[in-house]
Amino acid sequence: MNDVTKRVGGLVWAVCLLLLAVAGCSDDDGTRAVEPVPTTVEITPASARLTFIRATQGFTAVVRDQDGKVMSSADVSWSSSDGEVFTVTGSGSGGTATAVGNGMAELMAVSGQASGTAAVEVRQRVARLEAVSGDDQQAVRGTKLAEPLVVRLRDQGGTPVEGVPVTFRPRPGHGSVSAGQVETGVDGTASTEWTLGVAAPRQSLVAAADQLNYRFRATAITDAPIPDLEFRAVTLSRDDPTVLETVDVMAEIVNLGDGATPPTFKLAVSVDGQVVGTVDVGQLAAGATGNAVVTVGPFPTGRHTLDLVLDPDGEFEEWETANNSASVEVVVVNQDRLAPGESVTVFSEEAGSVLLFRIDVEEASDEALNIVLSGGAGDADLFAHYGDRPGHTNDYRCNSGTFTTDESCQMVPTRAGTYHVAVLAFSSFGPSKLEVTVGGRPLEPFDIELVFLNSGTPSQDAIVEQAAVRWESVMGQEVQDYPAFVTDRPFARNQCFRGQPSVAEEIDDIRIWISIDSVDGVGKNIASAGPCHVRAISYGFGTFYSTPALGAVLLDEADVAQMESEGTLLSVVTHQLAHALGFGTIWRIREWIQDPSSPDKPDADTHFTGPLTIPAFDAVGGSGYAGARVPVENGGTRGVADTHWRESVFGDELMTPYLTGDTQPLSLVTIESMYDIWYEVDLDAADAFSLTSAGRAGMAMPRGPFIDLSDDVADWPIVVGDQKTGRVLGVIHPRRRR
């Protein structure tokens, strides 16, 4: 290389270095490096709405260079176009807007020569409506309240909201306001003046804004206090009477005024616009309530409207008369009379229809009332009941439900009073004959089949059999046999208690297993007894619970020997057989037990409400008893409470939990309670018994030695089986399992 070449090469490199210093030099691929410059700023979110003062919203700015690449470390400055709407703080890519006042403004983020904006609106939303003043005032009716009604609206942050319309609307008849709609001022308040109405002592007005409201109340007074009657409730003795029945209309009336009514005032009842009854109601003081009953009917079939009006002739001034009326409806069904010795032809083409009949018996008889349905095709079921007509076939005491039209109910004894009969068309049926007679038909006796699983001595077994005969004499006739165990639905072994055999045969009328065996020695758990299986009939619209088909009495052999020697074994076994037959053990499923004390209400006034048991209790001296009738042992003690008559009332009676006295009579009360759980009974089988004066006062405490039958009610499950099919309808489980 010569000197000239060297000088030329050096010059080229010098020029190149100069150019690199000015604009950079190309790489081997011909590109040149360029310094990034902020070109765009994008803010997210692009807009925001703040609904209360001091509400905040965060924003993010993304800066990109001329090539669209994110410049994560670019400097960003934030600003608000109107500081009276919102302020902004932040540096770098994050900024926060804080609401100051209502309005629209722009949020700006700047990086270099690039900028971006987002729209921000502050619009307060009402979150609270509060009364400031004017509530609970009092003024003479028809005059303006002394203080205006003032409300204040606030947003979520508690700042008053300006410029929102508030409506003030009195309830109809409760007066007027000076302004029905008022916009809130800068302090968030709106006000109006309220002039009270003249028609009601207690008046109200609603202030509302943005789906929020507040109810102002005021009391109107008069120069002379006046009453204001209103129906608090109207109920009927029944809303489905028959054409032979009357209806008691029971009204609860309240005086809402500030003055008393006259000494008496009238209540009128109209049926379909025609007045049918009027009663006088006694004086009601201000704020007092009273009750009145008007009996109306009978009515023709169909739907009828009953209108009730207080003070129908406007005999005295009231605050308001629009509240003096009430209406209810009844739907009347047909019912025909049928006297003993008469028959009638019945039929129906509509499955599910019910034909109703009423039998009025003037003279009682020890013989049975026979109600027999016979002949014709199809399937009809027969129901009969003594006393008030049940509202549903489930509640009739006698039910006969074969697969044909041959049905019968024999009710023992024939009682003076009213019987009701229902014929249910299980399918279309008839023509069939429905006949009613007194006596003249044989009664099948009630059978208790005793099965000794563990026998005692011959004399002990004989006493058990004697107790069963006693109960067979009490029952006026048999109950329906239970054939369903014969089918493919036998009663499984050990289903009730350990050692219980299976059952695969027809039961007539009840089978009771007896076991006299070693349990726990003298003086502890003497016995355990109760049903194992209860009959029921299911018609697809409810279940009718009837009497037990299976039961058991388990006795401790040591106690049995001692009680035999003391002469008390017969009473104890008779008591236990009553539990197996259902006394105290199926009361709950029949809903005759009220206010039970177990498990956790020991002070409850537990009582049995069987409709025939209550008058029987009255007949033995209980009519003056102060508590609920018929009193049942309370205290909540397992195996004692809710399943026996109350010891402090009944004293020596057989079915108390502690057997006292020289004898333990089986009273008329106990026998009628068996009638109320659907047995037919012989009232003449009752022992002589009456409450003592201490019993009537609830203070008949045991005197001398007694037999403690605590915990004698069995705790095993009771199976409920369908009388027709044998299908298990349910299992009633005890509170604790054996």
pLDDT reported for residue 702 = 76
Identify whether residues 326 and 341 lie together within a single domain. no
Which CA distances in Å does 625 have to 320, 500, 649?
A: 44, 43, 9
Identify whether residues 354 and 413 lie together within a single domain. yes
CATH code, domain carrying 401 = 2.60.120.380
Identify whether residues 527 and 674 lie together within a single domain. yes
- For residues 394 and 390, what is the distance between their CA atoms, to the nearest angstrom? 8
- For residues 501 and 515, what is the distance between their CA atoms, to the nearest angstrom? 12
Residue 300 maps to a domain: yes
- The number of distinct structural domains making up the chain is 5
Rounded CA Rg of the chain: 44
Give the pairing of strands 176-177 and 343-348.
unpaired
Identify whether residues 77 and 163 lie together within a single domain. no
Identify whether residues 385 and 320 lie together within a single domain. no
The token pair at 291 is 């009750």
Decide which of 332, 365, 383 is a domain's last residue: 332
Residue 11 maps to a domain: no
Identify whether residues 364 and 318 lie together within a single domain. no
Identify whether residues 182 and 289 lie together within a single domain. no
Identify whether residues 464 and 603 lie together within a single domain. yes
Residue 143 maps to a domain: yes
Identify whether residues 103 and 143 lie together within a single domain. no
Q: Is 222 left (phi over 0), alpha (psi -120 to 50) or beta?
A: beta
Nearest CA among 613, 626, 623 for reference residue 668:
613
Residue 736 maps to a domain: no
Residue 595 maps to a domain: yes
- For residues 722 and 724, what is the distance between their CA atoms, to the nearest angstrom? 6
pLDDT reported for residue 31 = 54
pLDDT reported for residue 542 = 66
Owning domain of residue 69: 38-122
- For residues 340 and 362, what is the distance between their CA atoms, to the nearest angstrom? 10
Identify whether residues 460 and 433 lie together within a single domain. no
At position 437, the amino acid (one-letter code) is T
- For residues 10 and 445, what is the distance between their CA atoms, to the nearest angstrom? 142
Give SS3 for 198: coil
Residue 22 maps to a domain: no
Give SS3 for 260: coil
- For residues 176 and 178, what is the distance between their CA atoms, to the nearest angstrom? 7
Which CA distances in Å does 553 have to 366, 454, 580, 640?
A: 31, 11, 7, 16
Decide which of 332, 361, 376 is a domain's last residue: 332
Nearest CA among 657, 680, 653 for reference residue 669:
653
Return all residues near 715 (Cβ < 8 A) that are at least 6 apart.
528, 639, 734, 735, 736, 737, 738
pLDDT reported for residue 25 = 39
What parts of the chain have a pLDDT lower than 70? 1-32, 487-488, 539-542, 734-738
Residue 15 maps to a domain: no
CB atoms under 10 Å from CB of 7, counted, come to 9
Return all residues near 313 (Cβ < 8 A) that are at least 6 apart.
266
Identify whether residues 297 and 380 lie together within a single domain. no
pLDDT reported for residue 598 = 86
pLDDT reported for residue 480 = 84
Asked whether the whole model's pTM tops 0.75, one would answer no
CATH code, domain carrying 47 = 2.60.40.1080
Give SS3 for 1: coil
Nearest CA among 357, 373, 447, 377 for reference residue 410:
373
Decide which of 299, 332, 365 is a domain's last residue: 332
Cβ proximity of 496 and 716 under 8 Å: yes
Which CA distances in Å does 263 have to 222, 232, 252, 280, 324?
A: 21, 20, 17, 10, 18
CATH code, domain carrying 190 = 2.60.40.10
pLDDT digits (tens, 9 = 90+) for 665-689: 999 999 999 999 989 999 999 999 9
Give SS3 for 488: coil
Longest dimension (CA), the chain: 160
- For residues 610 and 676, what is the distance between their CA atoms, to the nearest angstrom? 5
Identify whether residues 496 and 638 lie together within a single domain. yes
Beta bridge partners of 413: none
Residue 17 maps to a domain: no
CATH code, domain carrying 630 = 3.90.132.10
